Amino acid sequence: MKSPEKPHILFLFSDTGGGHRSAAEAIIEALHLEFGDALSTEMVDIFKDYAPRPLNVMPDLYPVMVRIPQLWGLGYRLSNGPRRVSILHHSTWPYVRRALRALIHQHPGDLIVSVHPLANAPVLRALGPQRPPFITVVTDLVTTHAFWYQGNMDLCIVPTETARQRAFKAGLRPEQVRLVGLPVADRFCHAPGDPRALRRELGWPEQRFTVVLVGGGEGMGPLEATALAIAEARLPLTLVVVTGRNRKLRQRLEARRWPIPVFVYGFVREMPAFMQAADVLVTKAGPGTISEALNAHLPMILYSRLPGQEDGNVPYVTENGAGIWAPTPQRIVAALRYWQTNRVAYAQAQAACRRMSRPQAARQIARLIAAAVEKTGDHGK
């Protein structure tokens, strides 16, 4: 609820991929780290909490939909572009307007932050001309959908130069767009420590080249086939596999006898330490994971990407020298062998990660939000 004593910031998100919840939580954490309790915050899931049926089940359907990546990519392409977004917005407005007006009435804010592209156009329309400042934080790295960009938003915060240029092509003015970076939790933003000391604390071999293999919170992707291929190649390394919530996969991997040191985990909260202790991260091309790895100066091998919003993430990493695209287990093994035997190339990848990292992004966004609140005038007057 809105506090009568201090500015209240409403965050609009939904658990439909793209790390929207994580981005909102990272910004809220940064606001409290920077300003203590001077601001109050609130998160609202626009789909689960307010969307009419069947839109309210989108967060539950999302994991199912992305398992058909070709179909997802087709929908992304067919809906992209300012004209198409406008048509979709006007056609769905009669269906969602009552729900959105209820959201605004029940969750008043002195400033609204959207971290979900589908919230922007309809919420701005529901707010009307006499509205609080509206800020969008884009949580896709490169191939950003036109849904992100609305000409009447007050500020659009983007993570990359390509995303900034796409905002201009969508009609935003330069003063509306700020290039800051992708917000991630503060625990991913500290300077990397001594990897060998961290390995010792984690119980991993200190001296061996260490690879962390992840598949997101649900343990998706070719984790098992990749782990087996790395082990069968008998590379002189330690393999750490994070299976997330995929308990069956974890049990299968734990039951195996491995020819190299292998450590298997389920869902973990120690990923910052894992990244700082590792030499290479093997992952899908998700924006949050990429940003976290860059902050840890951790070179990446990318094995998959979601068509549409993650298409640009692969060249963003590879063309800047921070990682390698390897969409099969065999190519992952080849990439690992290359970095192990070519230490100059590996050092160059580390340097690229360091150059691309933006560990202050969440705090910079927090300061922009606080400045926008202050600009609206003294609170309560």
Same structural domain for residues 371 and 333? no
- pLDDT, tens only, 123-149: 999 999 999 999 999 999 999 999 999
Whole-structure pTM over 0.75, yes or no?
yes
Q: How many helices (H) and strands (E) does the chain have?
A: 15, 12
Same structural domain for residues 138 and 211? no
Spell out the residues 6+ positions from residue 118 whose beta carbon is closer than 8 angstroms to its own. 14, 46, 147
When comparing pLDDT for 123 and 52, which is higher?
A: 123
Residue 266 is assigned to a structural domain of this protein = yes
pLDDT category of residue 85 using cuts at 50, 70 and 90: very high
Same structural domain for residues 89 and 137? yes
- Which DSSP helix (H) or strand (E) runs through 308? none
3-state secondary structure of 222: coil
Domain range spanning residue 210? 190-356
Same structural domain for residues 52 and 179? yes
Residue 351 is assigned to a structural domain of this protein = yes
Per the structure, how many domains does the chain have?
A: 2
Same structural domain for residues 231 and 336? yes
**Is the N-terminal amide bond of 54 cis, ω within 30° of 0?**
yes
Q: Report in angstroms the alpha-carbon separations of 258 from 234, 242, 262.
A: 10, 16, 7
Same structural domain for residues 99 and 175? yes
Residue 2 is assigned to a structural domain of this protein = no
pLDDT category of residue 66 using cuts at 50, 70 and 90: confident
Same structural domain for residues 113 and 226? no
pLDDT category of residue 379 using cuts at 50, 70 and 90: very low
On whether the CB atoms of residues 120 and 153 are closer than 8 A, the answer is: yes
Same structural domain for residues 107 and 150? yes
